[in-house]
Amino acid sequence: MKYNLTYYAVAALLAGAASLVSSHSFAASCCGGGSAASLVVPKYATAIVDLTFDAELYDGYWNHNNKYIKDPPGSDLQQYRMNVGVGYRFATNWQASLALPYVWNDNSYSGVSSQTDGLGDTTVSLTYELLDDNSAWKIRDTHDLIPGISLGLSLLVPTGTSPYDDQQSSFDITGRGFYRLDGTLLIEKTIRPWNVSCAISYGTYLERTINREYGKYVAPYKKDLGDRFSASLSAGYAYVIGTGGDSITGTVSYVYLNEADGSFNGNRDTGSGFDKQSVGAALSYTNNDSNWSIRTGWNHAVKKDGWGENFPATDIITVGVRYVFL
Amino acid sequence: MSSCRAICLLTLLVLLSACGDNLFPSGEDKRTPVSAGSSGGSVSQKSPDFSVSDIRGATVNLASATAGKKGAAFYFTMWCPICDSHMSDMRTSTTLMFPDVNFFLVDYVSGSVAGAARAATENGYAFGVFSTLVDTDNTLLNIFHATMGTTVVIDNTGIVRMNEDYRDGVNLRKALAALP
């Protein structure tokens, strides 16, 4: 089951955008829920380009009572995403980024099958680095304990196909149809070879008017989606290969995502909110000589009662490559 | 550098031009009037007859769907989280308020009576106030131009009184309360 593609496209969009984070927080954010996406340019660099492929495999859902329920027999639901991201440092502590996903929906039930694709929703972000992490090898004084802290502001732009476009089927949806403004706090600390990070995000959608639903014009009304909160925790270990500085970093993560009830014409739409918990693991390889890095990740929804509400349970497999411009 | 910037800007404009109505939502009422009583699935039209099976193998048509009642309500489900939320909302509130209405879930994805029966059972809707219809050849889906969440109300003369995406249940209850 898929919250139909509407729902899924939504989760897709989120996941796609969220995967464009720094290597440390990447694993924590690649999951459907992630925080407002930000493509973090390393302190020593001026820009980065990131290309990520996600395969999101749907396997049941949690209902409004937090009970896990299997998909209908014979169903096979996937969404694939290609996320292109660019980040640019335009001042010592300031950077901006743009993340653009392209979405393929591939859904088969026993009685119906659909394959569609289209542009997803775009995320533009602005990040200010409040404190720098010195990434100490040893703690020699309290200064070495200071974490890196970044504050971000992201705007989700509804460039995807939503239920309010001229699309008759929920299978065609690749975006949510609403602008959303997110504030993000990212705290990272590296004491080599270990690193931990915490990302917290709070977002609010902008109310809009709607005069069409799945291709059918309706009496215009106003709709708003509920505020969104996400938090992720991740921990990683970097293993240096040889003497050249190349490294492989392994990361594990936990992510919580919650969206409150939406509203119609100002009246609360009880039961439209959702939440989800997931865990993840990722591996990244960084080559210091060529400025390239590659990574792969797996985000897993625990398919048991109590790990989500009103949301699809999915596994997301990610493969990405990134280039850093010095 | 300036040419690069121009290319990026042009690319962005091309992409945004294909983004439909979401960037600049319209509040204009663009509904086109239909001829009341004509055959069709839009509001005020007379629903074409149909014949589909329910999950127990019984055949349901337009007449039997509303027989002895003020009308019938149909909810199109693909057994998803939001579908469950809507169906649960209907079951705990709307169905209790309108005992003189038949309530149907329309499964348009399972493709067989057995598959739909299993899905209804696993989701907790095999018994109770809802009857689950199995729209194997998408008859109902096509009549009402429906998709996940589409909610249709038909009165006992076959006139379509509501056909829209399920929202918070308020419009559904208004439509049911207005049934003659």
The ipTM estimated for the assembled molecules is 0.84
Copy the structure tokens of residue A96. Answer: 């901006």
Q: Which A residues, 237 through 266, put their C-beta within 8 Å of a C-beta on chain B?
A: 264
Q: Do B112 and A158 touch (CB under 8 A)?
A: no
Least confident of A270-274, B144-148, B176-180: A270-274
Chain A residues with beta carbon closer than 8 angstroms to that of B168 = 264, 267-270, 272
Pick the closest to residue B76 from B162, B176, B178, B180 (CA basis).
Answer: B162
Pairing of strands B51-54, A308-309: unpaired
Residues A188, B21: Cα–Cα separation, whole Å: 39
- B87-102: pLDDT as tens digits: 999 999 999 999 999 9
Q: What domains does chain A contain, in order, with CATH numbers?
A: 2-325 (2.40.128.130)
Confidence of residue B13 (pLDDT cuts 50, 70, 90): low
Copy the structure tokens of residue B77. Answer: 């489900």
Q: What domains does chain B contain, in order, with CATH numbers?
A: 37-177 (3.40.30.10)
pLDDT recorded at residue A39:
77
Distance from CA of A149 to the nearest CA of B (A): 31
B88: nearest CA in chain A? Answer: A64
Distance from CA of A150 to the nearest CA of B (A): 27
Q: Within 10 A of A237 (CB to CB), how many other CB atoms are there?
A: 14
Residue B148 at interface with chain A, using a CB cutoff of 8 Å:
yes
Residue A123 at interface with chain B, using a CB cutoff of 8 Å:
no
Calculate mean pLDDT across residues B126-148: 94
Q: Are A308 and A292 in contact (CB under 8 A)?
A: no
pLDDT recorded at residue A192:
81
A71: nearest CA in chain B? Answer: B79
pLDDT recorded at residue A17:
33
Q: Within 10 A of A127 (CB to CB), how many other CB atoms are there?
A: 23
Number of A:B CB contacts under 8 A? 180
Mutate to test the interface with B, among A79, A162, A168, A216 (most CBs of B within 10 A): A216
Distance from CA of A186 to the nearest CA of B (A): 29
Per-residue pLDDT of chain A (326 residues; tens, 9 = 90+): 333 434 333 333 333 333 333 333 222 222 222 233 457 888 888 999 999 999 999 999 999 899 999 888 888 999 999 999 999 999 999 999 999 999 999 999 888 889 999 999 999 999 999 998 877 777 788 888 889 999 999 999 999 999 999 888 888 899 999 999 999 999 999 888 899 999 999 999 999 999 999 988 999 999 999 999 999 999 999 998 877 778 899 999 999 999 999 999 999 988 899 999 999 999 999 887 778 899 999 999 999 999 999 999 999 999 999 999 98
pLDDT recorded at residue A155:
96
Q: Within 10 A of A113 (CB to CB), how many other CB atoms are there?
A: 13
User: Which DSSP string do the residues of chain B spell out, in sequence order?
Assistant: -HHHHHHHHHHHHHHHHTSTTSSS------PPP--TTSBSSSTTSBPPP-EEEETTS-EEEHHHHHTTSSEEEEEEE-S-HHHHHHHHHIIIIIHHH-TTEEEEEEE-SS-SHHHHHHHHHHHT-SSSSEEEEE-TT-HHHHHTT--TTEEEEEETTSBEEEEEE--SSHHHHHHHHT--
Q: Which A residues, 266 through 325, put their C-beta within 8 Å of a C-beta on chain B?
A: 267-272, 274, 310-312
Residue B168 at interface with chain A, using a CB cutoff of 8 Å:
yes
Give the residue, B11 or B130, on which the prediction is more confident: B130
On average, the pLDDT of chain B sits at 90
Q: Within 10 A of A325 (CB to CB), how many other CB atoms are there?
A: 14
Q: Do A271 and B167 touch (CB under 8 A)?
A: no
pLDDT recorded at residue B42:
94
pLDDT recorded at residue A71:
87
Q: Do B118 and A73 touch (CB under 8 A)?
A: yes
pLDDT recorded at residue B2:
58
Residues A28, A36: Cα–Cα separation, whole Å: 12
Residue B106 at interface with chain A, using a CB cutoff of 8 Å:
no
Mutate to test the interface with A, among B12, B82, B143 (most CBs of A within 10 A): B82
Q: Which A residues, 183 through 222, put their C-beta within 8 Å of a C-beta on chain B?
A: 208-220
Distance from CA of A58 to the nearest CA of B (A): 11
Q: Which residues lie closer than 8 Å to A113 by C-beta, 6 or more apart?
A: A107
Q: Name the strands in the sheet holding B101-107, side by side, starting at the edge strand that comes first in the sequence.
A: B59-61, B51-54, B130-134, B101-107, B71-77, B150-155, B160-165
Burial label for A276, CB within 10 Å (0-12, 13-18, 19+), is: buried
> SS3 sequence, chain A?
CCCHHHHHHHHHHHHHHHCCCCHHHHHHHCCCCCCCCCCCCCCCCCEEEEEEEEEEEEEEEECCCCCEECCCCCCEEEEEEEEEEEEEEEECCEEEEEEEEEEEEEEECCCCEEEEEEECCEEEEEEEEEECCCCECCCCCHHHHCCEEEEEEEEEECCCCCCCCCCCCHHHCCCCCCCEEEEEEEEEEEECCEEEEEEEEEEEECCEEEEEECCEEEEEEEEECCCEEEEEEEEEEEEEECCCCEEEEEEEEEEEEEECCEEECCEEECCCCEEEEEEEEEEEEECCCCCEEEEEEEEEECCCCCCEECEEEEEEEEEEEEEEEC
Chain B residues with beta carbon closer than 8 angstroms to that of A1 = 78-81, 83
pLDDT recorded at residue A18:
35
- B36-82: pLDDT as tens digits: 999 999 999 999 999 999 999 999 999 999 999 999 999 999 999 99
pLDDT recorded at residue B52:
97
Residue B180 at interface with chain A, using a CB cutoff of 8 Å:
no
Residue A108 at interface with chain B, using a CB cutoff of 8 Å:
no
Residue A1 at interface with chain B, using a CB cutoff of 8 Å:
yes
Q: Percent of chain B at pLDDT above 90? A: 76
Residues B64, A183: Cα–Cα separation, whole Å: 54
